[in-house]
Amino acid sequence: MATLNYSGQLRVDYTQNEQDAQTVHNLLDAMLAVDAAESSVQVDAGGVRPQRDHYLVTVSLSADGPLSDLVSVQDDLANAAVSVGLEPDVESAKGSVRIS
């Protein structure tokens, strides 16, 4: 059994406009959707921290699976990172996945 981990963060500018607030809400909704999905991917941590001029959205995801399914588990984890909005594409997300 192996555990794959993904941690990412996204800066969302804070301009007190509705679009920025909606972006943060969409990211949080996406995290909840990943957590609720029937999948091997789990949301280990997630949050939003207001900074001076932006929000910092952080997410930690993990997925367990047998070594024989490692590629499939990595794909699931990378797809989850993309669906949350932290990576532009699956290949970029795979580059940030770590095994433990």
Query: What's the CATH number where 11 sits?
Result: 3.30.70
Q: How confident is the model at residue 16 (pLDDT cuts 50, 70, 90)?
A: low
Q: Strand order of the sheet with strand 2-13?
A: 41-50, 54-65, 2-13, 98-99
Instruction: List all residues 6 or more positions away from 90 whose beta carbon is below 8 Å from its beta carbon.
Output: 75, 78, 79, 82
Q: Which of 5, 14, 12 is nearest to 45 (CA)?
A: 5
Q: Is the predicted pLDDT of residue 89 greater than 90, yes or no?
A: yes
| Cβ atoms of 54 and 20 closer than 8 Å | no
Number of domains forming the structure of the chain:
1
Q: Is the predicted pLDDT of residue 98 greater than 90, yes or no?
A: yes
Q: What is the pTM of this model?
A: 0.83
Q: How confident is the model at residue 95 (pLDDT cuts 50, 70, 90)?
A: very high
Instruction: Give the model confidence (pLDDT) of 67-87 as tens digits.
Output: 888 899 999 999 999 998 889
Residue 2 burial (10 A CB sphere; 0-12, 13-18, 19+): middle
Range of the domain at 72: 2-99
